[in-house]
Structure 1
Amino acid sequence: MRRDTFLKSMAALVAAGGLPLSALAAANIKMMIPANPGGGWDTTGRALGRALQEAGASSVSYDNKGGAAGAIGLAQFVNASKGDPNALMVMGAVMVGGIITGKPPVNLSQATPLARLTSEYNVFVLPPNSPHKSMKDVIEQLKKDPGSVKWGGGSRGSTEHIAAAMIAREVGVDPARINYVAFRGGGEATAAILGGNVTVGGSGYSEFAEYIDTGKMKGIAVTSATRLKGVNIPTLKEQGINVEIGNWRGVYGAPGITAAQRKELTDLIIKATKTKVWGEAMEKNGWTEAYMTGDAFGNFVDNEFASLRATMVKSGMI
């Protein structure tokens, strides 16, 4: 039997009550990754996809759609996936920040919150041939000529963008004067840093870890309250800059799915987080467990909108 015929037959059986909903939900997961390949969302989405297959999904397909802090992918997801119990979308704090700054015509409230998965902190790095040696050097240049310091990172409103604005404010520089260069995905940002096209780069630690370990980037600060486990990079607070900000990532379902379909997807995701392949991804990328599901996760996202907006206002971003 052809695969498309098989899937249509299963759908018909579900509609007729001949198969449990889980059989359809596990048939072919379609994962929207609202960023270009190579970044944190891409890594998270593909790791989750492998874990979902280990947990029972027969296949997982991926669609990378970068731009506007995930808003372009979100728009496609909202408009094309209505009522689809097999559709998932990776998202996180970056998307929340991007929606606040970009004010796109679509919003997360149009999709269905399923689960928060991970959290991690950001790291700031220097290119391999940078004349600077530390965050202190970067700050000195920032104070002399704010526009001459190119901060490279994710989309406008990303946690590294907010952190850069907070740093400027803390050291007495107008945050509106920072020269922030936004990239559509982690791959583009990494290439710009390695090529010396920005003064300092920022992202989740997992995205830069291999380059830091091999000496291709120099880590100069992390945005955590204390040093990351096993990572010899000072915090911003250690260096007299009172800035702390974290990142998190989660997954949403399509608009208009039923409560039963939402539960089926959530149960499958929870099962996936208990697999060996997901555990290996967590360890490899240095992610911290931050599991939260259902309405609790939806309320968390609502609170994040309020919290990040207040931080952006305080930092002079909006």
Structure 2
Amino acid sequence: MYNYLKAAVAAASVFCSIAGPATAAGIEKPECVAPAKPGGGFDLTCRVAQSGLKDQIAEPMQVSFMPGGIGAVAINVFNTIRTDDPGAIVAFSSGSLLNMATGKYGEWGANDVRFLATAGADFGAVIVKSDSPFQSLDDIMAKAQAEPGSIIFGAGGSVGSQDWMKAALLLKSRDLDPKQMRYVAMDGGGEAIAGLLGGFIEVYLGDVGEMVSHLDSGDMRILAVLSPERLPEPFAQFPTAIELGYDAEWTIMRGYYMGKNVSDEAYNTWVNAFNAAYKTEEFATIQKEKGLLPLNIAGEELDADVKARVEKMRAIAIDAGLIE
């Protein structure tokens, strides 16, 4: 299904220079590959690294673009001609992980790269209209258990998307079948919010980042945040689904991976650079300016976490009949 990727390698390699060797003293010809056209989330992710690591690496970082298949061409390139490239990192997002989980990158998956570091994150949220009869997440889940399919969930993504996965995780946490969910796919978060306020959907599975401008309006309420632990202000007042007793967490992660055959020396040089940057006020400022919340993890801890996350996504997709 993705045989066209093999043909795209040659074209992609024209504008993707092979970086020089990484040494204990630094990284030569550092490059961040954004697997899309300029603009958008992958470009933003690379700009975080470009600005955030400027005091940690000796040479300026180049940002290059490798569009195709929402990351499919890039992962193919880094599993064929650039598997051990020590100077290049590739931007990924939770959408990339979902594509890996559901086989949309063909033969390449999470075990074919080395996840390196995070740029920051956003987190899922369970949102209702201010006058909703649902006063808590427990109210929603109690009705979902008593009357499967009775609640109209909605978000800015189709069935199988990140937003759909948030609702599926909540239902699975109570052994409910996601296939019975009534889900309305909207065209983006703005339309989903309009649908919630207009009464077309009852529960919106959005992101906390997009709620900043709505917190003081009084039109909507956040019932739970799908983060591993409570977030800082302005979201500190909202409980997590985990603390409410639901095994449901959705981190909208932005980060970087490297080729799976890159040396430990090169990999750890990058890890050390990110860990040093995470400790600076400058990096925190860049995250805030780019609309990201702090999520600073690098190295083997991140690699293991992401691969476990992908397996969980795959299990949910199989249960829901999205893949075999």
Query: Does TM, scored on the shorter chain, surpass 0.5?
Result: yes
Matched, 1:273 2:275: no
* Distance 1:35-1:167 versus aligned 2 partners, 3 A rule: farther
The corresponding residue for 1:5 is none
Moved more, 254-263 or 130-139: 130-139
Q: CA separation in 2, counterparts of 1:179 and 1:35?
A: 34
Q: 2:164 aligns with which of 156, 161, 164?
A: 161
How far residue 282 of structure 1 moved from its aligned partner, in angstroms, is: 4.5
The corresponding residue for 1:96 is 97
Q: CA separation in 1, counterparts of 2:214 and 2:247?
A: 22
How far residue 258 of structure 1 moved from its aligned partner, in angstroms, is: 3.4
Q: CA separation in 2, counterparts of 1:35 and 1:237?
A: 37
Q: Specify which structure has the higher proportion of helix.
A: 1
How far residue 306 of structure 1 moved from its aligned partner, in angstroms, is: 4.0
1:64-103 equivalences under 5 Å are 65=67, 70-71=71-72, 73-75=74-76, 78=79, 81-91=82-92, 93-102=94-103
* Distance 1:59-1:154 versus aligned 2 partners, 3 A rule: farther
How far residue 250 of structure 1 moved from its aligned partner, in angstroms, is: 3.4
Instruction: Give CA-to-partner distance per residue, 1:67-114, whole Å, 9 cap, x none.
Output: 66x546534554564443332123355433432234531223222332
| SS, match of residue 109 in structure 1 | helix
| SS, match of residue 53 in structure 1 | coil
| SS, match of residue 298 in structure 2 | strand
Q: CA separation in 2, counterparts of 1:110 and 1:304?
A: 15
One-letter code aligned to 1:46: R
The corresponding residue for 1:292 is 298
Contact 2:117 2:302 in 1 (8 A): yes
The corresponding residue for 1:196 is 195
The corresponding residue for 2:222 is 219
Structure-2-length-normalised TM-score: 0.65
The corresponding residue for 1:152 is 156
- Taking only aligned residues, the RMSD between alpha carbons, in angstroms, comes to 4.7
| SS, match of residue 292 in structure 1 | coil
Q: Percent identity between the aligned chains?
A: 18
| SS, match of residue 298 in structure 1 | helix
Q: CA separation in 2, counterparts of 1:316 and 1:291?
A: 33
Q: CA separation in 2, counterparts of 1:190 and 1:73?
A: 27
How far residue 280 of structure 1 moved from its aligned partner, in angstroms, is: 1.6
Instruction: Name structure 2 gaps, 5 residues minimum.
Output: 1-16
| SS, match of residue 55 in structure 1 | coil
* Distance 1:99-1:23 versus aligned 2 partners, 3 A rule: closer
One-letter code aligned to 2:177: D
| SS, match of residue 33 in structure 2 | strand
Q: CA separation in 2, counterparts of 1:292 and 1:89?
A: 14
1:1-318 equivalences under 5 Å are 22=26, 24-26=28-30, 29-33=31-35, 39=41, 43-56=44-57, 57-61=59-63, 63=65, 65=67, 70-71=71-72, 73-75=74-76, 78=79, 81-91=82-92, 93-102=94-103, 104-105=105-106, 106-116=108-118, 118=120, 121-125=123-127, 132=132, 134=134, 143=147, 148-153=152-157, 156=160, 158=162, 160-169=163-172, 174-180=177-183, 189-196=188-195, 199=201, 200-206=203-209, 208-213=210-215, 215=217, 218-224=221-227, 227-230=230-233, 231=235, 232-236=237-241, 242-247=246-251, 248-282=253-287, 285=291, 287-293=293-299, 295-310=300-315
One-letter code aligned to 1:271: A
Instruction: Give CA-to-partner distance per residue, 1:250-307, whole Å, 9 cap, x none.
Output: 32113543343323333333333234321224556563444231x4443333433444
| SS, match of residue 242 in structure 1 | coil
The corresponding residue for 1:4 is none
Instruction: Give CA-to-partner distance per residue, 1:112-149, whole Å, 9 cap, x none.
Output: 3323565664213358xx98575769779975855853
* Distance 1:168-1:93 versus aligned 2 partners, 3 A rule: same
Q: CA separation in 2, counterparts of 1:256 and 1:122?
A: 33
How far residue 165 of structure 1 moved from its aligned partner, in angstroms, is: 1.1
Instruction: Name structure 1 gaps, 5 residues minimum.
Output: 1-7
| SS, match of residue 116 in structure 2 | strand
